[in-house]
Amino acid sequence: MSKRVAVITGGAGDLAHALAPALEKDGLEVHAPGRDLLNVTSPESVRAFFRELGTVDLLVNNAGMRADALCAQMTEAAWDAVMSANLRGAFLCSQVVGLTMMRQRSGHIINIGSFSARYGTSGQSNYAAAKAGLIGLTQTMARELGKRSVRVNCVLPGFLETKFTETMTGENKESARQMHELGKFNTVDDAARFIAFLDTMSAVSGQVFQLDSRVSPWT
């Protein structure tokens, strides 16, 4: 039998680097394209990439970016760029792949979210709004695709010490750590193991999984 095919967007990121071997260990054929191969903000790039690839059994919408600033000081360009990379990109990829999965009558889409969607982190109005929208996209697509046996879930991997957060000051990182009831962060390997495990759970869809010890204001 042919291997199941997985695509991880944002393939240059640390989480993608940890997730790819975890999925390969489970027997998947993994593609983790960077922006040069798959620009998720470009409909043309998205259509061309997935048309050439053909079958997709697992899509992990991992591509994203930050451009932090207080809302009053945020530029429209910063707002648009973050919304495009984090939310529009996930929509574009999920729309194309979702059609393929519906024809297959199988498949799984996992969106990589953020605790900012629940907490409304100061200085991240664009990022928080995009990630909150990603939860709405997850739950809506889970309803729309479920009758064709396609699953859609969202994982909030927690604060990960990666290239994505390396520009944050030590003070800000420590402040984030203090929000965790256990006083420690996950690692990318922790998050990757959970995502790989979630993919094996054939009866789970439309759910949001938070992988740290911060207590959210709503569940």
Residue-wise DSSP of 23-66: HHHTT-EEE---TTT--TT-HHHHHHHHHHH---SEEEE-----
Residues 164-196 as b/e (b if ≥16 CB within 10 A, e otherwise) read beeebeeeeeeebeeebeeeebbbbebbbbbbb
SS3 label, residue 195:
helix
Catalytic sites, residue numbers? 127
> What's the CA dihedral at 109, 121, 10, 75 to 10 degrees?
120
Instruction: Give the DSSP H/E element, type plus range, for residue 97.
Output: helix 89-104
Q: Please compute, for residue 2, the number of CA atoms within 13 A of its CA located in the half-sphere on the CB side.
A: 7
